[in-house]
Structure 1
Amino acid sequence: MQPIDWAGAGGTRWKDNVDHFEAMLDGPGKALIAAAAFVPGERVVEIGCGGGALTREIAHLVGPGGYALGLDISDELVALAAERATAEGIGNIAFAAGDAQVVQPETGPFDRLVSRFGVMFFQDPAAAMANLHAMIVPGGRLDFAVWAPADENPQFMMMALTGREHLGLAPADPRAPGPLAFSDAGYLEGLLSGAGFVDIRFAKWTGLLKAGWPGIDAAAAAELLARTGSTSDLLAEAGEEVQAAFLSSLATRLAPFITADGIAMPGSVHLVSASA
């Protein structure tokens, strides 16, 4: 799997398809919010806020006496998130661009830290976890969602297999920065405890990841996932024959997951909580 340049092309791709991604991650996002159980008055930082949908929801939950900051490495996504929050008239919210591995927001420390699939891309995970620990007050709480192993998430399996067949992608290092970097719960628990977190707990969300639109067929679904996935840049550089073969193979793999309402693929997610 290709490394994702979230500060550049990856962030642009997310911005250009933000509503697609938000719809696909709605189930895990709702589970994360329920598990976090925010209360009025809390000050919260979201790591990897993307278009800011979760940050906006948190701002409503913590109320006027609380505060929500969305932090993302992509300037484009931060600008989009701020624009959407302003359009909704939310006053207790802000967004900032920065690398959560090294930056400390000026408005910290916070009572809570949350992330929906925004913590698996750090180049130095141990240093990043130590920095996240410093963002929250003693006794504060961390809650985040990360993907469970690939064999529980068909979307990653099919993209990896199709990429190997047609784009020459090598099998990914399981600990390399990427969507599945924290799929091993034992490895992640070690990183968190090494950074000073305690009372580390894991729960599991399983459900359907929904994408596309009613009436989408396998060929259109393949186009959608190829355009929005991590192999999109590499695929764009390939010749027309390779692109056609890639899309055909991906469509065949996607066909069993096409429903009358769109794409519906099983997903599996670790819901992690810990205290500082």
Structure 2
Amino acid sequence: MANEDEARDWNGDTGRYWAGHAEHYDAMLAHLTPHLLDAARIEPGERVLDIGCGCGTTTLLAAGRGAAVLGADLSGPMLAVARERAAGLDGVRFEQADVQVHDFGAGSFDVALSRFGVMFFDDPLAAFTNVTRALRPGGRLAFLCWQDLRENEHRVLALDAIAPHVDTTGAAPPGPGPFSFARPGYLRELLTGAGLTGIAVDEVRAPVRLGADAAAAADFLRHGAMLRAIFERYPAETVERAVAALTEALVPHETPDGVLLGAATWLVTARRP
């Protein structure tokens, strides 16, 4: 695989954590996922490539619209969950692949989509050029990616809550990562360079569900990649103080539907000429 650092991460602790909490992540993103599926405009009989399919949620949703779907991801642990979820279903398959370099076959797909799976390429131009090649002429691309960290309440609250106890600088380093596609101008330039046209970058804001209550949400966040990278530098007693502060900050956001906080994303669509 060309994307070795990300492959190591998603086949290590990060991938195993996502695989073990697949249902939690699905519930977290439940208000955002329908925007992606609607934008993809999948028709029965179409061939769909799900980029960074993870545990297969969007793969199965696309298949539910009558498509034949290939889910591609770097993460072996997450693909194991995806294959278990799809057991016995026709028209669904999964492949462990680096989208930057994998040969999907020229013109093999009508649609390529991704739910927060495209921000981790170390060579995004190569990746999207490869996706363009995999689309038939007139084929469509649709994906969701995060806006800037400070636009995302669920991230900001967590960092601000723990900041009195730990150093949160560098929480979103440059390079591949959740916020690498935060700038619309960069996205348009990148996709144009990859040979795509009709590029639209539209804002989608919706709540994300972090847990059933404040304690569950704080535990979920503390083990996520962003806070885990911060906390691993500190002794246990410091981490527990920070988590206690985070739990307290989440209490006002408890609702009958769980802890809900705002999220800001870009819904990006384009097509192959």
TM-score using structure 2 length: 0.89
Q: Secondary structure at the match of 1:27?
A: coil
* CA distance, structure 2, for counterparts of residue 140 and residue 163 of structure 1: 45
Once the two structures are TM-superposed, the CA of residue 251 in structure 1 deviates from its matched residue by 2.1
Aligned to 2:44: 40
Once the two structures are TM-superposed, the CA of residue 260 in structure 1 deviates from its matched residue by 2.9
How is 1:105-124 mapped onto 2 (pairs within 5 angstroms)? Answer: 105=104, 109-124=108-123
Once the two structures are TM-superposed, the CA of residue 266 in structure 1 deviates from its matched residue by 1.1
The alignment status of 1:57 with 2:53, answered yes or no, reads no
* CA distance, structure 2, for counterparts of residue 220 and residue 95 of structure 1: 31
The alignment status of 1:238 with 2:211, answered yes or no, reads no
TM-score using structure 1 length: 0.88
Aligned to 1:129: 128
The alignment status of 1:270 with 2:271, answered yes or no, reads no
Once the two structures are TM-superposed, the CA of residue 195 in structure 1 deviates from its matched residue by 0.9
* CA distance, structure 2, for counterparts of residue 19 and residue 220 of structure 1: 14
Q: CA RMSD in A?
A: 2.2
* CA distance, structure 2, for counterparts of residue 172 and residue 244 of structure 1: 19
How is 1:61-72 mapped onto 2 (pairs within 5 angstroms)? Answer: 61=65, 63=66, 66-72=67-73
Structure 1 pair 74–163 and aligned structure 2 pair: CA distance change class (3 A): farther
Which of these residues, 9, 31, 35, is aligned with residue 13 of structure 2? 9
Q: Do 1:147 and 1:182's aligned partners in 2 also have CA atoms closer than 8 Å?
A: yes
Q: Which amino acid aligns with 1:26?
A: A
- Per-residue CA deviation, residues 129-151 of structure 1 (Å, 9 max, x unaligned), is 22222221222110000112223
Q: Secondary structure at the match of 1:26?
A: coil
Aligned to 2:252: 256
Q: Do 1:7 and 1:74's aligned partners in 2 also have CA atoms closer than 8 Å?
A: yes
Q: Do 2:107 and 2:133's aligned partners in 1 also have CA atoms closer than 8 Å?
A: no
How is 1:128-207 mapped onto 2 (pairs within 5 angstroms)? Answer: 128-161=127-160, 165-171=164-170, 175-207=174-206
Q: Do 1:175 and 1:182's aligned partners in 2 also have CA atoms closer than 8 Å?
A: no
Once the two structures are TM-superposed, the CA of residue 93 in structure 1 deviates from its matched residue by 0.6
* CA distance, structure 2, for counterparts of residue 91 and residue 107 of structure 1: 23
Once the two structures are TM-superposed, the CA of residue 69 in structure 1 deviates from its matched residue by 0.5
- Per-residue CA deviation, residues 156-183 of structure 1 (Å, 9 max, x unaligned), is 2234445655443433566521111111
The alignment status of 1:27 with 2:31, answered yes or no, reads yes
Identity %: 36
Q: Which amino acid aligns with 2:68?
A: Y
Structure 1 pair 141–228 and aligned structure 2 pair: CA distance change class (3 A): same
Q: Secondary structure at the match of 1:114?
A: strand
Structure 1 pair 196–223 and aligned structure 2 pair: CA distance change class (3 A): same
Q: Which amino acid aligns with 1:35?
A: A
Structure 1 pair 159–100 and aligned structure 2 pair: CA distance change class (3 A): farther
Aligned to 2:82: 81
The alignment status of 1:223 with 2:184, answered yes or no, reads no
